[in-house]
Amino acid sequence: MSLYVKIKKNYGNFVLDAEFEAKNETMALLGASGCGKSLTLRCIAGIVRPDDGQIVSNGITLFDSRRRINLSPQKRRVGLLFQNYALFPNMTVEGNIMAVLAKSGRRDRRERFSSLVKKFYIGGLENHYPAQLSGGQQQRVAIARIMASDPSLLMLDEPLSALDSYLRWQLEDELAKTLGSFPGEALYVSHNRDEVLKLCDRVCVIDRGRFEKPRPAGELFESPETLASALLSGCKNYSRIEFADGGPRAADWNIRIKCAKPIGEDTSHIGVRAHYVSIMPGEAPEAAEENAIPCRVLRMTNDIFTVIVSVHPLGTDPENDFSRIRAELPKGSLGGLSEGDLVTAVIKPGDVMPLRRNYVNI
């Protein structure tokens, strides 16, 4: 089973240029809001017609602009879970699922209904209306209803974003089970790196309508290669790179940067995760092996288990967002530091990630 998508859709001020292939896996489409993730799903489902391109699922052409093929959503066998779940409010849970089962005309629809009820833990809710259900229950019903339509491709549009955080972990487990037992491909749209890391095999980062090359989820978060994927992977510190007298300089941090990985011509930025920045009080001596940046403390913010220290390198504009370095440190590791103090931010060369600005197509 496989899915091939190569489509273009032009809205004038926004252009979607999607290309990817998935084979028996859960593929994440990860991107900031408005980047075209949901639009891609709608094109695959047949709700929105792409300007040109091709969509092939399991050898069946769903859309092909050149051969003038555009199957109706009903014929595509694509299950799409909407962000608001889109249960029919005028029907009970049973009505919602039976509406789909009845259409198949199969004799065993009562048995299929019972097995779906059991599989998705919705026993006891059969006669309730969607408005009576919690977000988690609605989601289970919606997934059961999609499974009733027997899809060959499953697409989930930010399935956890509408839920309270205490329900998330539980539903995450259930989704992992559903996705694991689903025989075909699944597309998982999200802007949340944690969900993607836990639930998906590969990740396709989307930056303003453009698709980057899909990469295994762990690898993407370990070493993002572009600015967009670093941002989405939760990296907090960035500086532009410029080349001056023989070496790369982190322009926004006002230092010559030492990086374990090669910084090439196409490197436009470097990124450093907040966890990997350490803060030393006072001015540190020039260290040969590490990047030591003399800074002034801007703000200290308390999180539950950590303290986030924002500093700005001396000789830079503190209003420039790139010139702020955020360090996330365990609580109690900083004695008596306060705003305005002079400190040194220390970054190991192995923690510096060279990043490209532009996406590279497949």
Partner 1 sequence: MDLFPLYNSLKIASISTFITFFAGIFAACHIARLPKAVKGVLDCVLTLPMVLPPTVVGFFLLKTIGPFGPVGSSVMNLFGFRLTMTWYSAIFATAIVTFPLMYRTARGAFEAFDRTLLYSGQTLGLSGTYIFWRVMMPNCKQGVLAGTVLAFARALGEYGATTMVTGYIPGRTATISTTVYQLWREGNDSLAYKWVGVNLAISFLVLVAVNMLENRYEKPKGPVLSPLADK
Give the binding site for partner 1 (CB under 8 A). Answer: 42, 45-47, 72-74, 76-80, 82, 84, 86, 88-91, 99-100, 103, 121, 125, 128-129, 131-137, 145-146, 148-149, 164, 167, 170
Query: What's the CA gap between 149 and 41, in Å, rounded?
Result: 17
Select 170 or 320, whichever has its Cβ closest to partner 1: 170
Write down the least CB distance from residue 167 to partner 1, Å.
7
- Residue with smaller CB distance to partner 1, 132 or 320: 132
Cβ at position 156, least distance to partner 1 in Å: 13
**Token pair in block for residue 237:** 């510190």
**Strand partners for 56:** 4, 61
* 8 A C-beta contact, residue 350 and residue 356: no
- Report the nearest approach of partner 1 to the CB of residue 184 (Å): 15
Residue nearer to partner 1 on the CB measure, 136 or 248: 136
Separation between Cα atoms, residue 69 and residue 49, nearest integer Å: 11
Closer Cβ to partner 1, 91 or 337, answer by number = 91
Least separation in angstroms between residue 303's CB and partner 1 is 26
Closer of 79 and 209 to partner 1 (Cβ) = 79
Q: Residue 348 Cβ, how far from partner 1 at the closest point, in Å?
A: 45
From the CB of 234, what's the least distance to partner 1, in Å? 28
* Closer residue to partner 1, CB minimum distance, 80 or 196: 80
Contact criterion met (CB below 8 Å) for 307 and 301: yes
Is the Cβ of residue 182 or residue 221 nearer to partner 1 in the bound state?
182
Distance CA 91, CA 86 (A): 12
| CB 39 to partner 1: min, Å | 13
Q: How far is CA 226 from CA 207, 240, 325, in A?
A: 10, 13, 19
| Comparison of 146 and 329: residue with beta carbon closer to partner 1 | 146
Give me the residue label for tokens 């499953």. Answer: 154
- Cβ-based neighbour number of residue 233 at 10 Å: 22
For residue 180, what are the CA distances in angstroms to 138, 163, 174, 183, 335? 20, 22, 10, 8, 47
Least distance from C-beta 199 to partner 1, angstroms?
20
The residue among 58 and 223 lying less far from partner 1, judged by its C-beta, is 58
Q: Give the burial class of 354: count Cβ atoms within 10 A of its Cβ; 0-12 exposed, 13-18 middle, 19 or more buried.
A: buried
Query: Length of the chain, please?
Result: 362
**Nearest 10 degrees: CA dihedral of 299, 303, 306, 312?**
-20
Shortest gap between Cβ of 211 and partner 1 (angstroms)? 22
Is the Cβ of residue 11 or residue 88 nearer to partner 1 in the bound state? 88
Minimum distance, C-beta of residue 83 to partner 1, in the bound complex (Å): 8
Nearest C-alpha neighbor of 296 from the set 330, 344, 250, 251: 344
Q: Is 81 exposed, middle or buried (0-12, 13-18, 19+ CB in 10 A)?
A: buried
Task: Give which of 162, 178, 202, 208 is closest to 39, Cα–Cα.
Answer: 208
Render the burial of 251-277: b for 16+ CB within 10 Å, e for the rest.
bbbbbebbbeeebeeebbbbbbbbbbb
